[in-house]
Chain A
Amino acid sequence: METNTASGFKAGGKQVSLAELAALVPDGASISLGGSFLHRGPFALVRELIRQGRRDLELIKQSPGYDVDILCRAGALRRVRAGIVAMEGNFGLAPWYRKAIESGSVQLEEHACASLTAGLRAAAFGVPFQPCGGLHGSRLPELNGWKCLDDPYGGGKPVWVIPPIRPDFAILHASEVDAAGNVRIAGTYHWDRIMSRAAGSVLVTAERVVDDAVFKQAPEATVVPYFMVQAMAIVPQGAWPGSCWPDYAIDYPAVERYLEPGDEALARHLEAAPETREAAHA
């Protein structure tokens, strides 16, 4: 029987609608989003947060692009902690992110991808800081107030240490889940794994649900075990307009249309998203 002493998410009944999943994220929450640039981000959930009018979110991701841009465009962000931000795939810089940072409407904590990972590792490992290789000569440590420690064992060189970065939620888009909430990702999992270990809770959207026998036949392929997953939604095409290997590639024309200026273009983009059709049919 479940008690409030449990650390994980043992209970069943985790599968909810996309709207219900997004509703678990309150205003002001810090969210770590899986994937990289236009690849396998939880973009349907990001759009649902916008539809629900979420505000003052903190986005934590080594390489955000479309997700940070559309959240800036919708005025949903308070702060970004990121390593590298771009649309990529020939689309260059992320224009609404750029405007938000240049105007000061969104606060930036600029990282190297690896220093953000180090902060997530500190949280994941349960330690007060995590050494990060490199960074010597960069002005980023000074900018962020990071400390440099001597090797306490006397042998090595000084090392920069990064404080913990503990997102309220890791939000991942996966290839497959089973009914219990185990998670598989085809291809690279980018930084999804360390995000899931660092965060207070893991929310998952997935292309499909498969029988748990599939997971038991190859447990080493499971990136996140079910007891770490708070809730999940089945959202086919959930990474649109990005890719989700091997199911679909980037929808370049859709990204091009997203980049058209104006509130109407954003509204058209949100309406064109695959999850709106799913919801209409549900």
Chain B
Amino acid sequence: MPDNRTAGRPAAASASSSTAASWSPFSYIVVNLARFIRPGEITFSGVNSTFPMLACLLAKRAYDWDFVYINVAGGVDPEPGHIPLSSSDPVLAEQSASIFANEDFYDLCTRGRMDLTFLGAAQIDGEGNANNSVIGDWHRPKVRLPGGGGGAVMLPTARRACTWRTEHSRRTFVPRLDFRTAAGGFHGVVTPIAVFVKRDGRLALQSWHPESSLEEVRERTGFDFDAAGAGPTAPPTAAEERTLAALDPDGRFEHDANVTLR
């Protein structure tokens, strides 16, 4: 809960205190999600999506081009007075000149005009399909997960969809999904150690965290992937670092996310 979390934050200053530009596991995910956003495009962030919310707000402030940011609170290019813990908080519609409600952004997506959407995924396979439903058998679940949500309809109909995982392991990057909630294949996936992009219908490694390695990514990924042309991820720019520090001045989001490299 926020009041307690504001008090203790061991990892808070890690990004801003380093002298050379470097990644924290937290900044790595936020900034690399933001780097999937392109000028002028309609880009959506939804529920349960703190990282994409931060990525969209960062891209609005850190880059010298603009895009259309819509979100699940109905906001269209909002200017929220504060950054909420809930990525569906109505503060994300502050200063919005219109309300683009839930039916609107789903219809936009199914008619093929959602350029980029961010969607959660519990398990991801080598084609970038997602399980958000269940660990184990659907009818006898070991773990009941949140469910179909946006993915089943948005993943196959958005022009591009990207996701993130704070855990990079063979539990999350699997050869075979326990249940295929959503097909269509992610365009991009970001973890604390790697950035994947879709190439020829499969997830391919684009880059890895400079403190990780190709070997580590292979070791922690349950499916085979192409790594041609991959190398260490370019460090955060000064604008990216500065903007993220301003979005999370007391380190609350970084502390709550509790992302580690290993």
Q: Interface of A with B (CB < 8 Å)?
A: 36-40, 62-63, 82-86, 88-90, 93, 97-98, 101-102, 108, 110-115, 117, 132-140, 143, 187-191, 193-194, 243, 245-246, 249-250, 252-253, 255-256
Contact = CB atoms under 8 A, between A and B. Distances in A.
A117 B184 CA distance: 21
A194 B88 CA distance: 19
A86 B47 contact: yes
Interface stretch (B7-15, B60-68, B153-161): B153-161
Interface string B229-253: 0000000000000000000000000
A217 B143 CA distance: 51
Contacts of A191: 102-103
Interface residues of B, number: 55
Contacts of A111: 147-148
Q: Which 3 residue pairs across A and B have the least CB separation, nearest first? A: A137-B183, A133-B110, A188-B74
A187 B90 contact: yes
Nearest to B75: A188
Given A63-B47, A134-B153, A190 B86 contact: no
Interface string B105-116: 011011100000
B106 A139 contact: no
B85 interface: yes
B156 to A, nearest CB: 5
B39 interface: no
A93 B149 CA distance: 14
A6 to B, nearest CB: 29
Contacts of A112: 148-153, 182
A139 B180 contact: yes
B67 to A, nearest CB: 21
B110 A84 contact: no
A90 B85 contact: yes
Given A37-B86, A90-B50, 20 more contacts: A83-B149, A83-B150, A84-B148, A90-B2, A90-B5, A90-B256, A110-B133, A114-B110, A115-B153, A133-B157, A134-B109, A136-B183, A137-B156, A138-B182, A139-B180, A188-B74, A193-B103, A194-B103, A243-B90, A252-B1
A256 B4 CA distance: 11
B101 interface: yes
Contacts, number: 179
Contact of B141 (A102, A189, A194, A253): A102
A38 B144 contact: no
B147 A85 contact: yes
Contacts of B93: 187-188, 245
A37 B85 CA distance: 13
A253 B106 contact: no
B95 interface: no
B88 A36 contact: yes
B110 A134 contact: yes
Contacts of A98: 143-144
B251 to A, nearest CB: 14
B27 interface: no
* Best-surrounded residue of B5, B91, B110 (most CB of chain A within 10 A): B110
A135 B129 contact: no
Contacts of B87: 88
B21 interface: no
A110 B147 contact: yes
Nearest to A121: B103
Contacts of A85: 146-147
Contacts of A138: 148, 152, 156, 180-183
* Best-surrounded residue of B89, B99, B143, B149 (most CB of chain A within 10 A): B149
Contacts of B141: 101-102
A252 B85 contact: yes
Contacts of A139: 138, 179-181
* Best-surrounded residue of B73, B89, B144, B153 (most CB of chain A within 10 A): B153
B150 A39 contact: no
B145 interface: yes
Contacts of A82: 147
B72 interface: yes
Contacts of A93: 144-146
Given A37-B88, A134-B153, A188-B93, A115 B148 contact: yes
